[in-house]
Chains A and B, each alone.
Chain A
């Protein structure tokens, strides 16, 4: 979990993970990317309640480098890897459900689930409130994936040239190689829409996204064995809405 100035949300994100300790032996790696607010203190105080969190600090270098710093901390015995952004919520029971798929299908390398965007989340129940707007889709989110460790090793680092859309680039790199994946119709994360989402500056966001697509096209041109990623990303609900 990379964290940059999310003192308001980070403990909820961590709680959503820690409550799933019954599903697996969790090792939660938090990379504080040079936060200037109370994020690190908030994490540290919560660590008193849970021994499975490890906190590392770096000066502010951006999310791609923070994710790579986290990957470098994976312990030797780790079999599965997932990500959670510090303002999102891991849905109760998702690790249990995902890991059961890996048991049922030994060759499986990746589960990829749905995400629900929500603008109001109850920090006690860790569920969207009754009056929250929600939208459920299979989008770009590392948090909806559980990766077998070998797939992470094979894919390599996040491209640190990206200020954002490093997740798009990473997931396209993975899907292009044709991994053995399962698309699950369960919601794995609540993606919190709030005033400070990192992905709101439209010009930068668009340019980073176009760069990820460009890199994908260039890879496929250079290596025809790579493939497109059709049928993965889709809007699930509400079904009767469309983008303006």
Chain B
């Protein structure tokens, strides 16, 4: 019996966008940001939108072992968490993107902008005061 293999973005602090097929993920709680290889971007987009790992493996574009290692890293980084939901279908454009990918699956973590990301200027502000939401550290 296969393990449950549907995932969701781990928390509301994990935000992401895709630009020309390249995914970039930001963890607002730590200020770390993440970049991917071309295949990694495709897999991130699929998994973060509820496509199952099994559906990705079935495309034949990615080896199962490689995919499992990649998913383990995303879980370890706190970007994804297992979800208890029915899988969404794999969109056709992602299938083509994965088939065209040339680089092995990888995700890189960067923390050079951590303080910037954690503090300014992208956090929600404390409406209506227009002040960055802050709390006193313990």
Contact = CB atoms under 8 A, between A and B. Distances in A.
Interface in B1-45: 15-17, 19, 22, 24, 26, 33, 35
Given A210-B16, A214-B22, A244 B129 contact: no
Given A205-B121, A228-B112, A119 B130 contact: yes
A135 B112 CA distance: 21
Nearest to B26: A210
23 contacts: A117-B132, A119-B130, A133-B131, A137-B119, A138-B115, A139-B116, A139-B121, A200-B125, A202-B122, A205-B121, A206-B122, A210-B16, A213-B33, A218-B22, A228-B112, A229-B112, A230-B111, A240-B136, A240-B137, A241-B135, A242-B118, A243-B132, A243-B134
B3 to A, nearest CB: 31
Nearest to A210: B17
B76 interface: no
Nearest to B114: A233
Q: How large is the interface on B (under 10, 10 to 19, 20 to 34, 35 or more residues)?
A: 35 or more
A230 B16 CA distance: 22
Contacts of A100: none
A202 B130 CA distance: 12
A119 B132 CA distance: 11
Contacts of B17: 206-207, 210-211, 214
Which 9 A-B pairs have CB atoms at the shortest separation, nearest pair first?
Answer: A233-B116, A228-B112, A230-B112, A217-B35, A244-B133, A214-B24, A210-B17, A139-B120, A234-B115
Interface of B: 15-17, 19, 22, 24, 26, 33, 35, 108, 110-116, 118-125, 128-137
B137 A119 contact: no
Contact of B120 (A133, A140, A241): A140
A209 interface: yes
Nearest to A239: B137
Interface stretch (A23-31, A68-76, A189-197): A189-197
A134 to B, nearest CB: 10
